Amino acid sequence: MKHQTPRRLPRRTWRGLYSTLLVLIVFCCTCGGWVAAQTADARTPAPLAQVSGIENIGTVDRIPDRYQLGQQLYLENCATCHIGLPPQVLPTETWRRLLQDPQHYGQTLKLLVDPPRLLVWNYLQTFSRPQQKEEELAYRVASSRYFKALHPKVKMSQPANISSCVTCHPGVSKYNFRKLTAEWENSP
């Protein structure tokens, strides 16, 4: 038997194949982009589509389903001794340290263990805000720049603390910080 070498296609054929492939790629990308653009308005973003009724209790942010258990565990473990603060009023680093330190404002606590600790941490981390590098870590609501930013025109007759929240937010016991007293209801 004679050994045959494979036949090589002429250069012209290769150019034709490359050109066809290139046209096909451009066509697919263009059509794919067009289809995505047409369907983008029809879809609701996933985090907003999965929001539960928890938002009805007045939390500051809408809570997607995947953070609801973390919020519930946070309230069960923290709001039983004091007002459950929205994560937004303290920096993320404060929340991280609070979850790791058994010494809690003069009291010794039994720390949460995983997986509940991770669920609470995911909730707090997601809805709290970062701390600036040069900023001193706020452990008290009154010293948090986030608390101050959320209350820009509020003149405090005494230093703010978590017990004084109910003065302006009568729904605090239900984790409702959106409901305000009549005095603040229509304020700027």
pTM of this prediction?
0.62
Q: Is the pLDDT of residue 163 over 80?
A: no
**3-state percent breakdown (helix, strand, coil) of the chain, nearest 5:** 50, 5, 45
pLDDT digits (tens, 9 = 90+) for 43-99: 333 333 334 444 455 556 678 899 999 999 989 988 888 888 888 888 999 889 888
Q: Is the pLDDT of residue 38 over 60?
A: no
Looking at residues 13-31, what average pLDDT do you find?
62
| pLDDT number for residue 3 | 65
Residue, of 93 and 140, whose pLDDT is higher: 93
Which of 60, 154, 135 is closest to 91 using CA atoms?
135
DSSP result, 34-79 = HHHHHHHTTSPPHHHHTB-GGGGGT-SS--BHHHHHHHHHHHHHHT
| pLDDT number for residue 50 | 39
Q: Is the pLDDT of residue 17 over 70?
A: no
